Structure 1
């Protein structure tokens, strides 16, 4: 709810995610990417409503769907699946707070939050955060928790000399790395990384992205929410593009960043805005989610728009567009 009105922040978010796979979710600010992550973990505001299904199945060793780096388009049944196995499927959208708090958050789904400083307790040091998380999520003996906490910090490139600092003593980049270290501790079957490279220089961006990729290569699933298309290209198996609360394209990363490129004009525009490409911004501004145009939400900004775009396009062949790139226009 916003201003007494209902706002559909995310609609038609239909995808799956296999063990050993990284799906990068990209799009402009305000398009609904972080709302989607919060919905999966039950972290939306109290007045928010969800409907649909988000199935989480997990078990040792087996994967749902094709394995890493080889997946084709898989968009279809309205479920998010990670690390399929023997444990019964859990519908995250239907789970109660007790279940989410005790068995899901940190254990089955790890989270690198978008605003890490807000998730750190101000009166505890980074070391204390890490050691407490090791105690809560792993079977590490007490005498080994300090070493386990330091190992987690090293994985996230958090400097050992800052472990005894408090959150208010950290820069934004250090807070980001602390949050990444905390998320990696539980070795959860599914990791949601929401803008995990914010505030980092290019070297640290690459190091963080590589560590997240190693998490996926260890048989875990990774949903990487990011504005950084270079980081997405570095680690993603597939790319999902969100616009105005809707996923408008899903494509294998090799095709998305290479040839023939994205099929949706908005996705093509995101790539074209990169300095190493055309360096041309997408014209216009995204619509307010509370005031979406009828039909295709991107039509007011799209050079390919026609009268057909007055009708909301269905998702076909990897894109929700009446005039996808690479197709012959009627």
Structure 2
């Protein structure tokens, strides 16, 4: 609820994410990507409502109570790289203290082994060892991001949710962070990576889900999406076309407010292929929700 109105922040999101795969969830700000991640962890505000199922092993995350999520899910079965890492760090504890406590709690590391284990955990996320004694307010945005990544990787959780894990990093550190996350995937873990950075998504993802106005409008194999035959949904094609190394052409207009969605296709007002059929909501069929998708169908995910 927002201002007394019901806002459908995420609608009909459906996908599977097996071990050893990365799914990149992409789309403009405000389309519902982070809300989806928060729902999986039970971190939505108190007035939020959820429906459906989100299965992790035998646990339905949407039906689990707070005790179950806190004691057996967060950190242990799902690791989180939050979108605003500094806000998730305790302001009166150093990065090293954060890592040490997490190592003791999740891995049972002995106190005598903590200094070495803390340095190893920091190195894994390219966090400099000489900054471990710093407090969150002393970190740049990029350092806070790397600290959050280090903490998320400690427990080797089977599922990692990374919400904009490359924000504030230069391109070299983006590559290093993404490559470490990819190693985590290749070791048999699942990764849901929420990102605006399509170059990072291309480097790491096995599949790509494109979200617009609270709905997944395309789900495709990453190789087919980024190289050929390319996306099928006009919005997804516009996202790629906006990249500097491609057409560098912005998508015209602005996305609609989630609390005031138009009837029919939410992308119709910005779409170069809009037609009479677009006054009805398109169904998600063969990996795309569009009345006028590209004629070429990418390989199945």
TM-score (norm 1): 0.89
Match of 2:105 in 1: 136
Match of 1:51 in 2: 51
Paired residues for 1:196-211 under 5 Å: 196-211=165-180
Match of 2:150 in 1: 181
Paired residues for 1:181-330 under 5 Å: 181-326=150-295
Per-residue CA distance 1:70-124 (angstroms, 9 max, x = gap) = xxxxxxxxxxxxxxxxxxx100000000000000000000000000000000000
Match of 2:13 in 1: 13
Question: Displacement of 1:142 after TM fit?
Answer: 2.0
Match of 1:98 in 2: 67
Question: Displacement of 1:144 after TM fit?
Answer: 1.1
- What is the rounded CA distance, in whole Å, between the counterparts of 1:47 and 1:95 in structure 2? 17
- What is the rounded CA distance, in whole Å, between the counterparts of 2:248 and 2:232 in structure 1? 19
Match of 1:159 in 2: 128
- What is the rounded CA distance, in whole Å, between the counterparts of 1:229 and 1:122 in structure 2? 32
CA contact (8 A) 2:28 2:212 kept: yes
Bigger mean CA offset, 148-157 vs 36-45: 148-157
- RMSD value, Cα: 0.9
Question: Displacement of 1:229 after TM fit?
Answer: 0.2
Q: Give structure 2 stretches of 5+ with no counterpart.
A: none
- What is the rounded CA distance, in whole Å, between the counterparts of 2:295 and 2:107 in structure 1? 49
Asked if 1:112 corresponds to 2:81, the answer is yes
- Structure 1's consecutive aligned runs of 4 or more residues displaced over 6 angstroms after TM superposition are none
Q: Give structure 1 stretches of 5+ with no counterpart.
A: 58-88
Question: Displacement of 1:139 after TM fit?
Answer: 2.4
Question: Displacement of 1:141 after TM fit?
Answer: 2.0
Per-residue CA distance 1:274-329 (angstroms, 9 max, x = gap) = 0000000011100000000001000110010111011100001110000001269x
- What is the rounded CA distance, in whole Å, between the counterparts of 1:197 and 1:145 in structure 2? 27
- What is the rounded CA distance, in whole Å, between the counterparts of 1:315 and 1:107 in structure 2? 33
Aligned residues: 297
Asked if 1:168 corresponds to 2:159, the answer is no
- What is the rounded CA distance, in whole Å, between the counterparts of 2:296 and 2:282 in structure 1? 15
Match of 1:23 in 2: 23
- What is the rounded CA distance, in whole Å, between the counterparts of 2:153 and 2:247 in structure 1? 36
Question: Displacement of 1:146 after TM fit?
Answer: 1.9
